[in-house]
Amino acid sequence: MGTPTSASRAGIAESHVSTVFFTADRAYKLLKPVDLGFLDHTDRATRLQAAFRELELNRRLAPDVYLGLADVVEGGVLTDRFIVMRRLPEEAKLPNLVGTEHFEPALRAIARAVAAFHAGQPPLHDAPMARRDAVLANWEDNLSTLRRFEDQGVPAVELDRAASLWRAYLEPRETLFDKRIEEGWVRDGHGDLIAEDIFVLEDGPRILDCLAFRDDLRIADVLADIAFLVMDVHRLADAGAAERLMRWYREFSAEHHPSSLAHHYVAYRAHVRAKVACLQAASSPSDPGPSGAGRSDPGGSGDLWALARRYHDLTVHHLERARVRAVLLGGAPGSGKTTVADALSDRLGWVPLTSDAVRRDLAGLDHVTRSGAELDAGLYSEAMTERTYERLVAEGAELVRLGESVVLDASWTQAAWRERARRALKAAGALVLEVECTVSDEEAARRVARRWHEPGPEDVTPEMVGELRRRRDRWPEAWRLDTERPLDEVIEAAVTALAAAG
C-alpha cells in the first residue's frame, strides 16, 4: 500500500498504479488512469470496477481494514472512486519486526492466517494457469523483461544459469503440476504476499493489497502463494526464518509437497521481484523511495539495480535447492549401506527405496523373516535380480518426476545395472549421485555374522560374504564412503560430499 513520504501523520504515497492519501486514521487509495500493459485503467468504467474488485478481494483477509468506497462526484457525474481503509501503525509492519522478539511469533501467526485463508477458498480444478506449461511461460516472460536490462541489472551469464535450472526442473514434471491441481491445491489466493503489506496487531495479522487486477495471476497453487512471503522473509531475515515460516504453514494447512517444488516457487517469486526492481530502476533516474516505488526497500540500499541482483541471487539459490537428486547408494554385504541409506534419507528428507524390500514384494514375501533362498537361486536368481533392479529404478524415476529426491539402496554389483539406472533417472529429471559404502573384509564378516544370529530377514550367510564381494564390478564413478566410523560421522561426511557434488 505504500507509506507517507514524511514522518507526519498525513501524507501521500505513490506507486505506478495508485496514489494513497493518508490522514491520522484513514488511507484513501485512488487508482491511476494508466495503461501499463499488464493492466489498463485508462477507461473510467474499468477503473471504477477495479476499485470495487480490490475492495471485495482484500476484505477476504482484512475486512476491518478495507472499510468501503468513497465516490468522487463532479457536476453530478461519478468521475472516480476512493478505496477507504483503516490506517495501520507503521511499527506493526512486518519488516519493522525483523530482529525483535516479536518477529518469530508474528511469522507463526501469519502462517496460521494464510493457511486458514487458503482453507476457506474452494479448490479450482479447471486451472490452466497452474499447469506446467503456464508456469514455464511465466518464467520465460520474466526472462524476456530481465534481458532488456542485463547491462545494468542482472548479467546475462546469471540469467542463463537460472534459465537452465528452471527449464531442467520443469521439462519432466508435467505430472507433478497436474497432480497438484487434481489434489485440490490450486485456489484463488492473495497473489502478492510480501512483508511490506502485512501488519501484525495484538489480535492478529492484517494482510493487505492482494493482486486484484488479474485473476490468472492470483489463482495459483497455494504453495506458490505462501512462497512469495517465504522468499521475502529470506531476503529480510535469513533462510532459517523462511524455512520456519514454510514449516508452520504446512503444520497449519496440512498441505504436503516435495521440498523441490517449494524451492522452485520461492525462486520464481524472487525472479518476479527481480523483474519489478529492474522496471522500477529503469523508470527512475535515482532511487525514488516509497513515493516512487510504492513500497520502501527495507534493506535501505537505495540502489534498485543492486536490489534486482540480490533478488536474482535468491532465485538461483532456490533453483539450486530445487534440483531433484537421486543417489545410487551401494556396497557389498556388511558395508552398512542400508543403515546409511535410512539415516541419510532421514537427515535430508529424501525417499529411501531398498532393493531388499522390492525383491520381497515381487516374490510376495514379508519383510521380517528369512526366505531360505540360496545364492543364484530362487529369490536371488539372475532373473529375479534383473526384475528387482528394473522395478527399483522405475519406482525411483516416478518419484523423481514428482519432485522427490530419492536414495536407491542396493548392492549395485554390476556396472550395467548402474548405467541403466543413471540413464533412467537422468531422463526423469534427477541429478544422479553415486556412493559406495566401504568396509574392511574383517568388519564386513563380523557384521554379517552378527545379523545372521539375530531374528530378521537377513539371507546372506557369513559364507557368502567373500564370494559376493569378489563379484563386484569396479565403480569408479562413485564416491567411496568409509562406514567403519561412528554413524553420525559417516552421515555428516556423506551430506558434505553430496552437497559438494551438486
Render pLDDT for 213-246 as a digit per residue (tens, 0 to 9). 999 999 999 999 999 999 999 999 999 999 999 9
Looking at the predicted structure, is the pLDDT value of residue 300 above 60?
A: no
Q: Report the C-alpha gap between 381 and 388 in whole angstroms.
A: 10
Burial of 164 (0-12, 13-18, 19+ CB in 10 A): exposed
The model's confidence at residue 288, banded by pLDDT at 50, 70 and 90, is very low
Residue 279 gets which letter from DSSP?
H
DSSP 124-163: -S--GGGSHHHHHHHHHHHHHHHHTTTTTSS-HHHHHHHH
Q: Which one is the CATH code of 90-322: 3.90.1200.10, 3.40.140.10, 3.40.50.2300, 1.20.1250.20?
A: 3.90.1200.10
* Exposed e or buried b per residue across 460-477, where buried means at least 16 C-beta atoms within 10 angstroms of its C-beta: bebebbeebbeebeebee
Residue 414's nearest CA partner among 447, 388, 442 is 388
- The domains of the chain are located at 11-86, 90-322, 325-501
Q: Which one is the CATH code of 11-86: 3.30.43, 3.40.1350, 3.30.70, 3.30.200?
A: 3.30.200
Q: Average pLDDT for residues 319-327, to the nearest whole number?
A: 97
Burial of 169 (0-12, 13-18, 19+ CB in 10 A): buried
Q: Is 111 helix (H, G, I), strand (E, B) or coil?
A: helix
Contact 141/149 with Cβ under 8 angstroms? no
Our measurement of the distance from residue 191's CA atom to the centroid of its chain's CA atoms, rounded to an integer in Å, reads 16
- Sign of CA pseudo-dihedral 171, 175, 176, 181: positive
* Fold held by 325-501: Rossmann fold (3.40.50)
272, 273, 289, 292 from 284: Cα distances, Å: 19, 16, 10, 8
Q: What is the pLDDT of residues 449-498, one digit of tens each?
A: 887 777 766 767 777 777 778 889 999 999 999 999 999 999 999 999 99
Q: Report the C-alpha gap between 371 and 386 in whole angstroms.
A: 18
Q: What is the pLDDT of residues 138-194, one digit of tens each?
A: 999 999 999 999 989 999 999 999 999 999 999 999 999 999 999 999 999 999 999
For cell 540502489, the residue is 303
364: left (phi over 0), alpha (psi -120 to 50) or beta: left
Q: How large a percentage of the chain has pLDDT more than 70?
A: 93
* Lowest mean pLDDT segment, chosen from 115-129, 340-354, 434-448: 434-448
Q: Average pLDDT for residues 414-424, to the nearest whole number?
A: 97
Q: Average pLDDT for residues 422-441, to the nearest whole number?
A: 96
| pLDDT of amino acid 301 | 36
Q: Average pLDDT for residues 69-93, to the nearest whole number?
A: 94
- Sign of CA pseudo-dihedral 381, 383, 385, 388: negative
Name the more confident of 457 and 380: 380
DSSP 342-407: HHHHHHHTPEEEEHHHHHHHHHT--SSS---PPTTSGGGSHHHHHHHHHHHHHHHHHHHHTT--EE
DSSP 436-481: EEE--HHHHHHHHHHHHTSSSS----GGGHHHHHHTPPP-TTSEEE
Burial of 333 (0-12, 13-18, 19+ CB in 10 A): buried
Give this prediction's pTM: 0.89
What lies within 8 Å, CB to CB, of 6 at 6+ separation is none
